[in-house]
Amino acid sequence: MVSRRLIRKNKTIDWFSEIYLQLLAERGVMPIIVPIAEATKGILDEYLKDYDGMLMMEGGDIDPQYYHENYDLTKLDEYDPLKDEIEITCLRHAFAANKPILGFCRGVQLINVLHGGKIYNDVHLEIPNPVLHINYENYDSHRHKVILEEGTPLFEWYGQKELMVNTYHHQGIKVLGKGLIPMAHAEDGLIEGVYNPAHSFLVGLQFHPERMLSEYKGNQKVFDAFTDAVKHR
């Protein structure tokens, strides 16, 4: 897991949601956090020597250079080139080593980019008639509908065709990366979940099951499936 980094009141803050730590630890998996710090680059090989899986969480926008687009960097939200560099290095290593990978929000966007896909720089500006994917007034209570694809792991975990999910993002998958299979779509067509059946375990979700654990049993099953894959490597 890689820590999140942002600027708040003109100060750099590194933090990681305790929700993820709790969900992993209660399943017998020890979380290790990779800090977003310049000095981390010099010891990143040590983090990547011995680990069993990788969880990528939310964060700021991804530099468009990684999906081969020119875009005004001043328009990006919480742009952090150091975070991009560290997370992409970690993910590339996990891909190559066939380690279990689970990504949420920015995590699924990184997964898509490293599969050769592209992302929207702003879904609300680029998608015709978009649904509301982020409510800046209340992140936690915001919900919108997603439709699950039958025959996918996501449908197996939730056992139903539609969900009302929590999202807060303005980037999203534009062109699906090679080898990825969609598992869910929003009503405006935006892909909300992917997996790669050729990988040991590789799942990316645009929504946040960790923020609505009591609403669907499938939310817990997402973490069950990931930690089972981690423990059985």
Continuous H helices in the chain: 18-25, 40-47, 81-97, 106-114, 123-126, 153-158, 217-231
Strands 54-56 and 101-104: parallel
Active site residue 208: yes
Q: Say whether 174 sits in a helix, a strand or coil.
A: strand
Which candidate in 144, 169, 199, 208 is catalytic?
208
- Can you give 41-58 as a three-state secondary structure string? HHHHHHHCCCCCCEEECC
Write down the residue that tokens 């449908």 correspond to: 155
Residue 162 annotated to the active site:
no
**Cα–Cα distance for residue pair 47/15, rounded to 1 Å:** 18
Instruction: Point out the catalytic residue in the list 105, 142, 170, 185.
Output: 105
Cα gap 203→172, rounded to integer Å: 15
Q: What share of the chain is helix, strand, coil (3-state, %, to 5)?
A: 35, 20, 45
Does residue 149 carry a catalytic annotation? Answer: no
Buried b (16+ CB within 10 A) or exposed e, 130-152: bbebeeeeeeeebbbebebbeeb
Question: Mapping DSSP to helix (H, G, I), strand (E, B) and coil, where does residue 188 land?
Answer: coil
Catalytic residues: 105, 208, 210
